[in-house]
């Protein structure tokens, strides 16, 4: 029960940070609109490893819906975060250590190691970014914009994500 409450509170705080602070950050001069920091996907990443895929995907839908309301882009965040949530189980399987995960394993640095967490979060965040910016543009006519936004946003987001992880050191 305590754990669930912790996840809910973390989700609310991270979404608020996303829509109130990170949404409003703009970099560079006019015409350079490529950096969008995405921190809230970390909510999905930090769910316990044994959470059923259906539950992860549903949580992703709810988070995406909330974020979309603030971004005025109904559907775009939902599609990207649901995609990432579904991908999560495959990435977990891909990165599964030889002896498997323990029953109550949590995907964080202290229990799985820094290398493991870096590849885990980087793959998921990159998948999120490329899906999000493709759907946002909705056409591959904007190929250059999609690539630039994905690359720059991914780099800045993973930095912020690691700062958040190292500062808060989530345990559950």
Rounded Cα gap, residues 97 and 124, in angstroms: 18
Site for another protein in 91-130 (CB under 8 A): none
Residue position matching structure tokens 């914009």: 145
**Residue 77: is it exposed, middle or buried by C-beta count within 10 angstroms (0-12/13-18/19+)?**
buried
* Residue closest to 74 by CA, chosen among 84, 64, 83: 64
Residue selected from 2, 4, 30, 99 as contacting another protein according to rule CB under 8 A = 30
Is the separation of the CB atoms in 76 and 70 below 8 Å?
no
In the shown chain, the binding pattern of residues 41 to 80 toward another protein, with x for contact by CB under 8 A and - for none, equals -----------xxx-xxx-xx--x---xxx-xxxxx-xx-
State the minimum distance, in angstroms, from the CB of residue 6 to another protein: 23
Residue selected from 83, 101, 128, 154 as contacting another protein according to rule CB under 8 A = 83
Contact between 164 and another protein per CB under 8 A: no
Contact between 82 and another protein per CB under 8 A: yes
In 3-state terms, the chain is what percent helix, strand and coil (to 5)? 70, 0, 30
Q: Which residues lie near another protein (CB under 8 A)?
A: 19-20, 24, 30-31, 33, 52-54, 56-58, 60-61, 64, 68-70, 72-76, 78-79, 82-83, 85-86, 89, 135-138, 142, 145
């Amino acid at each position: 029960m305590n754990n669930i409450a912790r996840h809910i509170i973390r989700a609310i705080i991270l979404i608020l940070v996303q829509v109130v602070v990170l949404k409003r950050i703009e970099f560079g001069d006019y015409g350079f609109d490529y950096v969008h920091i995405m921190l809230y996907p970390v909510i999905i990443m930090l769910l316990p490893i044994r959470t059923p895929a259906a539950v992860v995907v549903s949580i992703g839908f709810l988070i995406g819906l909330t974020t979309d309301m603030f971004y005025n882009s109904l559907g775009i965040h939902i599609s990207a975060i649901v995609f990432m949530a579904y991908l999560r189980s495959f990435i977990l399987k891909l990165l599964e250590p030889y002896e498997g995960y323990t029953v109550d394993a949590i995907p964080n640095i202290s229990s799985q190691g820094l290398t493991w967490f870096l590849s885990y979060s980087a793959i998921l965040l990159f998948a999120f970014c490329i899906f999000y910016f493709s759907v946002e543009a909705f056409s591959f006519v904007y190929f250059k914009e999609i690539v630039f936004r994905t690359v720059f946003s991914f780099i800045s987001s993973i930095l912020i994500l690691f700062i958040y992880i190292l500062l808060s050191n989530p345990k559950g």
